[in-house]
Amino acid sequence: MNNRVTLDEFIVHSQMNQDNASGEFSGLLRHIGIAAKIVNRIVNKAGLMDIIGLDGNTNSSGDAVQKLDIYANELMIEYLKNSGQCAGVASEELDEFISFSNKIPQKNKYLVVIDPLDGSSNIDVNISVGTIFGIYKRLTSESELLQLEDFLQPGIELVAAGYVLYGTSTMLVYTSGYGVNGFTYDRGIGEFCLSHRDMKIPPSGNHYSINQGYFRQFDTRIQDYLNKCADENMMLRYIGSMVADVHRTLCLGGIFLYPKTKKNPEGKLRMLYECNPMSFVVEQAGGICIDEHGKRIMELPVQTLHQRSSIIIGSVENVNSILPFLN
Ligand code: P6P
């Protein structure tokens, strides 16, 4: 008997068991899953479709924008808008947020923050990239267009968050506050199927993940910690794609760090659509996520759409082991 559970089935079953889940929320999650399937198809054929390569622009964060970035962004926004369950979107690829017109019969309770294609600098060399998303309930009245305050919510207000990893296989991993579950895409049936039920990050791991090339730019406290990792013969693993590096950390245990550098004095990774959603997933899997001052990422105030932060995320024992260096 086929005991496969598809993402859609899992979402519907979860909706029946969770008090905060609603048909609107489930419908929104399902549309994110549909958009991910289409992005997956394009990412897997990117090299054949003259869709790779820089398009000559830069995004609000100053990153060179890949054609696939634009495609993924436009596609995600289209599906979120058509879901009829989303009031608007803030995206890495957009300077400002989008409020979907309430002329369309919209259930305007939820908004989505998204990094449509994270790690895009790896696209041209066929290394894993990902999509990161977070879902909030809006703060303003459903009869109005969204306001900036709806998006500037701390991570603790997230209703759901997750990521899609376009790797050797394509996985969608998400949490709605009741643990973390992973779904692997089965091209044969065109569905994400439950493959990693109730994911838990190991309490410790032997991998540390950081761009060691910036060693000279890191705060001396971070340098001292990295020397400790080397002294303890920990394994350095770094892909340069946050989704891939954090997913490996979630699966094997260990720690991922992106501290402040001279180039990015506030840190490189963005609070809204990178740090907070990934923190929600890792915390729900039993991990910890802090900034380099030891503060819990999900409690930090969010004051601008593209606000950056340092981030240290991973297993309880590994993150706790850096705390003495940060005080
Ligand atoms: P660096 C990708 O561009 C990204 O936003 C994250 O996915 C990744 O963790 C980080 O930047 C890599 O940055 O400076 O090491 O290339």
pLDDT at 83: 85
Q: Which atom of ligand 1 is nearest to the CA of 243?
A: 7
C-alpha of residue 155 to centroid of ligand 1, in Å: 21
Indicate the SS3 state at residue 326: helix
Note whether 186 and 213 are same-domain residues: no
CB of 87 closer than 8 Å to CB of 137: no
Report whether pLDDT(213) > 80.
Answer: yes
Report whether pLDDT(122) > 90.
Answer: no
CB of 211 closer than 6 A to ligand 1? yes
Rounded to whole angstroms, the Cα distance separating 292 from 243 reads 20
The CA distances from residue 49 to 6, 154, 281, in Å, are 29, 39, 33
Mean pLDDT of the residues in the chain: 91
β-bridge pairing 191-196 and 180-186:
antiparallel
Least confident of 77-91, 210-224, 247-261: 77-91
User: Confidence band (pLDDT; 50, 70, 90) for 304?
Assistant: very high
CB of 242 closer than 6 A to ligand 1? yes
Indicate the SS3 state at residue 174: strand
Note whether 155 and 73 are same-domain residues: yes
C-alpha of residue 242 to centroid of ligand 1, in Å: 6
Question: What's the total number of domains in the chain?
Answer: 2
Mean pLDDT of 288-304: 98
Note whether 40 and 150 are same-domain residues: yes
pLDDT at 62: 66
For position 238, which CATH number holds? 3.40.190.80
Mutate which of 91, 121, 123, 273 to test ligand 1's pocket (most atoms within 8 Å of Cβ)? 121
Residue 201 domain-assigned? Answer: no
C-alpha of residue 319 to centroid of ligand 1, in Å: 20
Please list, residue by residue across 177-209, b when 16 or more beta carbons sit within 10 angstroms of its beta carbon and e when fewer do: eeebbbbbbeeeeebbbbbeeebebbebbebbb
Report whether pLDDT(93) > 90.
Answer: yes
First to last CA, the chain: 56
Q: Write down which residue in 196, 227, 254 finishes a domain.
A: 196
β-bridge pairing 54-58 and 129-137:
unpaired
User: Confidence band (pLDDT; 50, 70, 90) for 117?
Assistant: very high
DSSP 303: -
Q: What is the pTM of this model?
A: 0.94
CB of 281 closer than 8 Å to CB of 216: no
Smallest Cα–Cα separation from 201: which of 84, 271, 272, 279?
279
Q: Write down which residue in 177, 196, 215 finishes a domain.
A: 196
Report whether pLDDT(37) > 80.
Answer: yes
Note whether 69 and 170 are same-domain residues: yes
Q: Which atom of ligand 1 is nearest to the CA of 211?
A: 15
Domain that holds residue 178: 7-196
Residue 73 domain-assigned? Answer: yes
pLDDT at 20: 56
Mutate which of 242, 278, 289 to test ligand 1's pocket (most atoms within 8 Å of Cβ)? 242
Note whether 188 and 225 are same-domain residues: no
C-alpha of residue 63 to centroid of ligand 1, in Å: 10
Least confident of 17-21, 183-187, 266-270, 322-326: 17-21
